[in-house]
Structure 1
Amino acid sequence: MEIDEITEYIESLGGVLTLAPGPDSGFPEIAWGDKFFYYAPDGQIPTRTQPFATIVTKNYPDDTTSDLDRPDVFRLNINPGRDAFLTHLGYPPRNTADHPVDASKPDTWIPHPVYASAGWVAVVAPGDGTESTAKELLTRAHSRARSNYDRHAD
């Protein structure tokens, strides 16, 4: 899966605001080249929530275990919730320390290196082995974000 293909799929779910920071965006340079996906049918960045998915293209100071500074490598991060985390990784988010993984291995589901305790999952260099599950988890994360948006819109 390529970044543009993933972006197109996420945006096809509807009501998605995609932030793609760059030099003139006003966002910190560290975020340039990454993408952040929110459920925001009004086109405004939600103030009470995090994105439901992100694509990161480089290491961050507190997040280097996926070795994203390799050429043409990125990581898709998804917040499908704790139940989906358990279903797809086989253990609850609170038990990630008991299940060490190679966070740089391509096309393999891993707990998010920083946000696993919140139910985030991730995949480095998603490909054929993770594509169908990625779409399933993205759809679930989008649905959860939409429900959260609707609850707070009242």
Structure 2
Amino acid sequence: MDHTQLLDSLRHLYPDAEFLERAGTVFVMYDPDHRLTPEWRRPFVTVVPDDAHDHASNLGREGVYRLNVELSADAYRERFGPHPRAGADGLVHTGHDFTALDVVMPHPVYAPMSWACVLCPSAATVEALRPLLVEAYTRAVRRHAQEGRPGGAAGTLPG
């Protein structure tokens, strides 16, 4: 599945989500009424085409991109075990080969915040991830309903 096919699949899965592109990275967010200011918006899925955010995945290879998805803390632990801590280099050291294609693994930077990733996922891998993608969307919808209310959660758009 190439980058364009993945985005088409995600647009089909999330018809009322916003797909914001910044410098090639696509941030998928839920704000259907456009009431949130940028500092309150938070993606639940991102698609990254280059090494602008980290160099662990070697995304400079021809046609290589990374799908990132926010998991619940419980889903992260079920899949990968305890949350890792970032090393002095800002990366987590989980024993995963962050350059491997079509392998679901912890995100090399955002794993402590329950993010997972996969480089160049196949259609079968995207389908296997569907429950986690739907769960990420459901949490985003719930978060949106709470934002702006006293005690509501705020998020930021990661750079």
Bin of the TM-score, shorter chain as denominator length:
0.7 to 0.9
Which string of whole-angstrom CA distances, capped at 9 and with x for unpartnered residues, describes residues 59-110 of structure 1?
02x5111010000000000002211112222x02237857311000000011
Q: TM-score, normalising length from structure 1? A: 0.80
Q: Give 1:35's match in structure 2, choosing from 26, 30, 36.
A: 26
1:94 partner amino acid: P
- Between the aligned partners of 2:102 and 2:56, the Cα distance in structure 1 is 15
Alignment of 1:60-71 (within 5 A): 60=52, 63-71=54-62
* Aligned residue number for residue 5 of structure 2: 5
* Aligned residue number for residue 143 of structure 2: 148
CA contact (8 A) 1:93 1:111 kept: no
Distance 1:98 1:7, change over 3 A: closer
- Give the Å deviation of 1:50: 2.1
State percent identity of aligned pairs. Answer: 28
The reply on whether 1:82 has 2:73 as its aligned counterpart is yes
Q: Give 2:39's match in structure 1, choosing from 40, 47, 57.
A: 47
Which string of whole-angstrom CA distances, capped at 9 and with x for unpartnered residues, describes residues 88-143 of structure 1?
22x02237857311000000011111110000000011114522232222111111
CA contact (8 A) 2:2 2:63 kept: no
- Between the aligned partners of 1:133 and 1:45, the Cα distance in structure 2 is 33
Runs of 5+ consecutive residues of structure 2 not aligned to the other structure: 87-91, 150-159
Task: Answer 1 or 2: higher relative contact order, Cα 8 Å, separation at least 6.
Answer: 2
- Between the aligned partners of 1:82 and 1:92, the Cα distance in structure 2 is 9
Moved more, 8-17 or 64-73: 8-17
The Cα RMSD (Å) is: 2.2
- Give the Å deviation of 1:6: 2.6
The reply on whether 1:92 has 2:87 as its aligned counterpart is no
Q: Give 1:112's match in structure 2, choosing from 107, 123, 136.
A: 107
CA contact (8 A) 1:80 1:144 kept: no
CA contact (8 A) 1:111 1:120 kept: yes
Q: Secondary structure at the match of 1:94?
A: coil
Which string of whole-angstrom CA distances, capped at 9 and with x for unpartnered residues, describes residues 35-78 of structure 1?
11001111456532421010000002x51110100000000000
Q: TM-score, normalising length from structure 2? A: 0.78
- Give the Å deviation of 1:14: 3.8
Q: Secondary structure at the match of 1:144?
A: helix
CA contact (8 A) 1:110 1:123 kept: yes
2:61 partner amino acid: R
